[in-house]
Amino acid sequence: MAAVAVARIVPVVSLASVEQAEPLADALIAGGITAVEITLRTPSGVGAIARLADYSALLTVGAGTVVSVAQVDEVIDAGARFVISPGIDEAVVTRCLARGVLPVPGIGTASEVQLADRLGLSAVKVFPAAELGGAGFVRAMRGPFPHMRFLPSGGVTADNVAAYLATPGVFAVSGSWTAPDAAIAAGDWERVAQLAAAATAAIAAPPGK
């Protein structure tokens, strides 16, 4: 969790081609971003993870939208250093732990946080954060689970990222506003670098404890 916690902002990116991976990395690094989640929503996901895994020591690469044990093995073999899922699946979590890679499953209820706790996890993704109540939901979950750390995702924007990161229990946030699909499709890497720089400039407040 350390690399993600240090990054604090994790762009969620879906790439149409593996060739977009390296210019994306250059743009994010130029903007001060140090971690990225490459989703498996496109056929290029695993290949992009593999391309980025050894590209730069300045960028920690993880996999997103991982929903099966087979995908866990695929992305870890490609070089993913953390694995994010939209929901919590015991088999997926167990496989990640067995292979020594951080799983961050999505949760939306206290029962799911309790399951994550029972599986030995100390970090979960809150998804979809905005629909669940945003920072208020995190604060509510922090009461019965004071040791759990949270990664809000879904509805995190440039306007609310600082508020999320100032919420106790939040160790990082993820979202697509720093690397929007339109900019990636257009190859507008300067725009991605600008958005990344604006995001990192907005998070002067210390992370949640």
Q: Using alpha carbons, select from 134, 91, 98 the residue that is nearest to residue 115.
A: 91
CA distances from 183 to 36, 89, 97, 169, 177 (A): 16, 33, 35, 32, 10
- Planar angle of CA 190, 192, 195, nearest 5 degrees: 110
The active-site residue, picked from 22, 37, 90, 209, is 37
Q: How far apart are CA 81 and CA 75, in angstroms?
A: 9
Amino acid at 26: D
3-class secondary structure, 83: strand
Annotated catalytic, 209? Answer: no
The active-site residue, picked from 74, 125, 131, 209, is 125
Annotated catalytic, 37? Answer: yes
Q: How far apart are CA 147 and CA 102, in angstroms?
A: 17
3-class secondary structure, 20: helix
Contact predicate 170/142, CB 8 Å: no
Q: Using alpha carbons, select from 69, 63, 41 the residue that is nearest to residue 174.
A: 63
Q: Is the dihedral of CA 152, 169, 60, 94 positive or negative?
A: negative
Annotated catalytic residues are 37, 125
